[in-house]
Amino acid sequence: MRIELRLSGTGGQGLITAGIILAEAALLDGKLAVQSQSYGPEARGGSSKAEVIISDQAIHFSKVTKPDILLAMSQEAMNKYSGDLGPDSVIVTDSLFVSKIPAHEGKVYELPITHTAKNELGRALFSNIVALGALYKLTKVVSYEALEKAVLNRVPKGTEEKNKKALAAGIAMVD
Amino acid sequence: MSRILLLQGNQAVVEGAIAAGVKFFGGYPITPSTEVAESLAEKLPLVGGKFIQMEDEIASMGAIIGASLTGKKVMTATSGPGFSLKQELIGYACAAEVPMVIVNVQRVGPSTGQPTSPSQGDIMQARWGTHGDHWLIALTPASVPECFELTLRAYALSEKYRTPVILLMDEVIGHMREKIELPDNYDEIPKAERKRPACAPADYKAYADVDGDGVPPMADFGNGYRWHVTGLVHDETGFPKGTPGATVAAADRQYHKIYDNLDDIVQVDEYRMEDAEYAIVAFGGGARTAYETVDMARAKGIKVGLVRPITIWPFAEAQMAALADKVKGILVHELNCGQYVLEVERAVAGKCPVCSYAKYDNEPATPAQLLAALEKSLAL
Amino acid sequence: MSMEQIVDKYFRPGRLPHIWCPGCGNGVVTGCICKAVDKLGLDQNEVVVVSGIGCSSRASGYLDFNTVHSAHGRALPVATGVKLAEPRLKVIVVTGDGDCTAIGGNHLIHAARRNIDMTVVLYNNSIYGMTGGQYSPMTPLGSKATTAPYATIEQDFDVTELVRAAGATFVARATTFHAQVLADVIAKGIQHKGFALIEAVAACPTSFGRHNKMPNPATLMEWQRDHAVMKAAWDKMDAAKREGKFPIGVLYEDNSRKEYTDAYEELIARAQGGKK
């Protein structure tokens, strides 16, 4: 078992945090995980990319070369980080920000991630956790228990219930 | 008891430093090493240690020299441009034989280069960056757990040989997060201690090789041994003496204290080398690619293995010479225009072909790229 | 204690003669540091002397304390490391005008800003002596030097005003002519808890005097006598009378600001108490 995920978007959307949470959930499940990132000099805005590789075998090379999942939460990230997709790669987009999707043979999920975070949780801030819920439902790469625990370990005290709701909203988004 | 964590390489260095008993950090912010400073700013006061953000990179080096003289274990962390600025005082610390650990998380250079992109462009600077002849130790971790282990080892070597040790990281290892299992209680980890004088203060000569191992005992400032520290050439008393004899004696002792102990200092790891006909030599972030390349090549029937220097300096002279007797060809992979390969070529001395896969485009090589380079350069 | 006794007690046996030229003021300043230490009864084992590079910085090698002859301009960072790592030690920094205010100028303002407890004795001989007479940031405007054959056109620093503005909490000045005053203000600086700087005006007949029509050491000492004014008298002088002269004595002292290593101990207590 080995899965490579690339979570991309704009700096400030919390995608590096989402990548860390996913990797920590994998460790809680007893798997191995490597997380890496690239980012521009801007703390906010600019493209941001977090990559996570989860496997039950040793992971040496830390960068994603054949993404099983590409999450794109901005049009710029969609364009910039989709060059190495294969026919089996799954594209997940935030439909609020991504309107043009490059020609792709595989599956594409256009999900209202940020829209849902705003409408159901009151703040766009929760969009990364909503996205994690959706990725969980699509891949089952980590167990729900581990994911929820990893989320709650990382989020500020007092926001636990909202974050659980965010996960549930993400899960509900995927049929 | 232990705990399993997902940590960045830079954070694992901090854990290693705390476990080793670091009590002083002087630093200056620079990408991609800043997490080391940020984390120690939080953790050092918790163990009664001191953190200071100095006004520049040079001052950071000066501060850790001063703190080390009081007997504390000290650290600074930087990246290429800051490493350049530190060089004069790195030379001072070599000449005055002041123990310390200097972390350099390498990024693309020269000049400001590419602050968030990986590189291994400071291999030669780590060895030859300061002016004049000098000898030191540099270690290169290739995983997050190894960042922890090698930080402990850096302190052990630094204290044992009374020398600066450079922890030569790269952005790949410094910023990636992976699993690490850490002991809950660092008190159980043995602490390296420098050799301190056994004689009375009146008989103390700060640079006298009393045990014949080339490492003079070092007294803590404030403990009754009033000694003099200088960057001038000095004799065994520590006071300036610029005669030809004193100059040669000081240089020879500083050379021998390290180069007579290569068995203890130089570590080289191997992966699938048992029956290998070819070898990839790679280290740090570059080695992460090479492990997978070896597996891919093996799946195609190419008998290749990985030789991974953990100690970058002193150079693994004997290991590389022995490797040349064993394999039909060597490919050196590094994230620069070709630095370490020059040393490998020198040690191999024509006994087998040595090729270079030098990658300097801001990105680590993928396993497929390295495999293609292997097949092409060694005509496999 | 006589000067002979001072030398016996505080100078390392076998390290003299020193490298300083006949007529150089560095020996007087170094002697005043020893007198100050002696007056305060400090334990030599608890005193650390850190110097940079230059004529004055050679003093560290002659003195019988824990001593560091560091790199050019870097005495203050090294001293900062010693003091912060081991606050019980008394730290004295020996430095020159070039070492401290040119190559080490950035460290000077930041050490002053932190108000870290140390005493800087700045030997101001108005020139780079060891390299043979180049102008420094404290060479008076219009002076000649080997690198200023047509006289300097750069405004010189008043280092006492500089460090005061940067945050130093004890600032004094004296000359080698006024050696009693010098020893006295150094002692006061050592006693002061915080960053103290003493400008010690010292003659350099070889590299400064010769280029500026004062090759005779006595002429330079007379110049000090005629241009230095005790602070109490200075305060009563009007601007016209102050022209070309400078005050000596304790120029500024502020005991209200927290010292850096004390503040760090409080930070440790706060951190260990779980507070950010």
ipTM score of complex:
0.97
Which residues from A are below 8 Å from B6, CB to CB?
Answer: 20, 23-24, 27, 33, 35
Integer Cα distance of B215 and A74 in angstroms? 59
Which residues in chain A show pLDDT less than 70?
39-44
Which residues from B are below 8 Å from C110, CB to CB?
Answer: 54-55, 59
Closest CA to B303 of B285, B283, B330, B278: B278
| Interface with B, mutate which of A60, A65, A147 (most B CBs under 10 A) | A60
Those residues with Cβ within 8 angstroms of residue B363's Cβ, 6 or more apart along the chain or in another chain: A63, B117, B118
Chain B closest-CA separation from residue A175 CA (Å): 31
Integer Cα distance of C260 and B38 in angstroms? 20
Place of tokens 């130790």: B137
Contact between chains at B178 and A24 (C-beta distance less than 8 A): no
| Interface with B, mutate which of C15, C70, C265 (most B CBs under 10 A) | C70
Place of tokens 């207590």: C269
Contact between chains at C77 and B70 (C-beta distance less than 8 A): no
Closest CA to B261 of B330, B219, B308, B314: B314
Q: Cβ of C10 under 8 Å from any chain B Cβ?
A: no
Q: Which domains does chain C have, with CATH numbers?
A: 43-272 (3.40.50.970)
pLDDT score recorded for residue A40: 64
Q: Cβ of B177 under 8 Å from any chain A Cβ?
A: yes
| Interface with B, mutate which of A16, A17, A36 (most B CBs under 10 A) | A36
Q: Is the separation of the CB atoms in C186 and C123 below 8 Å?
A: no
Over residues B354-365, mean pLDDT: 96
Chains in touch with C (3+ beta-carbon pairs under 8 Å) read B
Which residues from A are below 8 Å from B291, CB to CB?
Answer: 58, 60-61
Chains in touch with A (3+ beta-carbon pairs under 8 Å) read B
Chain B closest-CA separation from residue A50 CA (Å): 10
Chains B and C touch (3+ CB pairs under 8 A): yes
pLDDT band for position B380 (cuts 50, 70, 90): confident
Integer Cα distance of C158 and C141 in angstroms? 12
Model pTM greater than 0.95?
yes
Mean pLDDT of chain B: 97
Considering only CB atoms, A61 lies closest to which of B4, B6, B288, namely B288
Contact between chains at C50 and B66 (C-beta distance less than 8 A): yes
Please state, for a pLDDT cut of 90, what percent of chain B lies above it: 98
Closest CA to B86 of B108, B101, B67: B101
Which residues from B are below 8 Å from A36, CB to CB?
Answer: 172, 175-177
Chain B closest-CA separation from residue A25 CA (Å): 10
Chains A and B touch (3+ CB pairs under 8 A): yes
CB A116: neighbour CB atoms within 10 A? Answer: 25
Q: Cβ of B215 under 8 Å from any chain C Cβ?
A: no
Give the pLDDT confidence of C128-184 residue by residue, as tens digits: 999 999 999 999 999 999 999 999 999 999 999 999 999 999 999 999 999 999 999
Which residues from A are below 8 Å from B112, CB to CB?
Answer: none
Nearest residue of B to residue A40, measured between CA atoms: B116
Secondary structure E strands in chain B? 2-8, 22-27, 50-53, 73-78, 100-108, 114-118, 137-139, 164-170, 177-183, 228-230, 268-271, 278-281, 304-309, 311-313, 329-334, 354-358
What is the domain partition of chain B in residue ranges?
A: 2-188, 269-377
Over residues C207-224, mean pLDDT: 95
- CATH class of the structural domain B269-377: alpha beta
Which residues from B are below 8 Å from A63, CB to CB?
Answer: 363-364, 366
Q: Cβ of B369 under 8 Å from any chain A Cβ?
A: no
Considering only CB atoms, A35 lies closest to which of B115, B177, B368, namely B177
Chain B closest-CA separation from residue A119 CA (Å): 33
- For the cut 80, the answer to whether the pLDDT of residue C276 exceeds it is no
Q: In C, residues 90-149, which contact B (CB 8 Å cutoff)?
A: 106-107, 110
Considering only CB atoms, B6 lies closest to which of A20, A40, A41, namely A20
Chain C closest-CA separation from residue B6 CA (Å): 24
Tokens of C169: 């909490």
Contact between chains at B116 and A65 (C-beta distance less than 8 A): no
Chain B closest-CA separation from residue C186 CA (Å): 21
Q: Could you give the C-alpha distances from B37 to B20, B40, B79, B99, C76, in angstroms and in order?
A: 16, 5, 12, 19, 21
Between chain B and chain C, how many beta carbons pairs sit less than 8 Å apart?
Answer: 134
Tokens of C153: 């056109």
Secondary structure E strands in A29-117? 32-39, 47-55, 69-72, 90-94, 108-111
Q: Is the dihedral of CA C42, C48, C54, C58 positive or negative?
A: positive
| Interface with A, mutate which of B4, B6, B114, B271 (most A CBs under 10 A) | B6
- CATH of the domain spanning A2-173: 3.40.920.10
Integer Cα distance of A28 and A146 in angstroms? 6
Nearest residue of B to residue C264, measured between CA atoms: B50
Q: Cβ of C268 under 8 Å from any chain B Cβ?
A: yes
pLDDT score recorded for residue B188: 93
Which residues from A are below 8 Å from B10, CB to CB?
Answer: none
Which residues from A are below 8 Å from B116, CB to CB?
Answer: 38-41
Q: Is the separation of the CB atoms in B82 and B153 below 8 Å?
A: no
- CATH class of the structural domain B2-188: alpha beta
Question: From the CA atom positions of chain C, what is the Rg in Å?
Answer: 18
Q: Lowest mean pLDDT: which of A41-45, B349-353, B363-367, C79-83?
A: A41-45
Q: Cβ of B242 under 8 Å from any chain C Cβ?
A: no
pLDDT score recorded for residue A87: 95
Tokens of C186: 């150094």
Q: Cβ of A32 under 8 Å from any chain B Cβ?
A: yes
Contact between chains at B179 and A32 (C-beta distance less than 8 A): yes
Which residues from B are below 8 Å from C272, CB to CB?
Answer: 45-46
pLDDT score recorded for residue A175: 78
Contact between chains at B175 and A33 (C-beta distance less than 8 A): no
Contact between chains at C66 and B226 (C-beta distance less than 8 A): yes
Residue type, B266: V
Between chain A and chain B, how many beta carbons pairs sit less than 8 Å apart?
Answer: 58
Q: Cβ of B61 under 8 Å from any chain C Cβ?
A: yes
pLDDT score recorded for residue C274: 82
- Within this chain, domains B2-188 and B269-377 share the same CATH topology: yes
Strand partners, C44: none
Residue type, C17: P
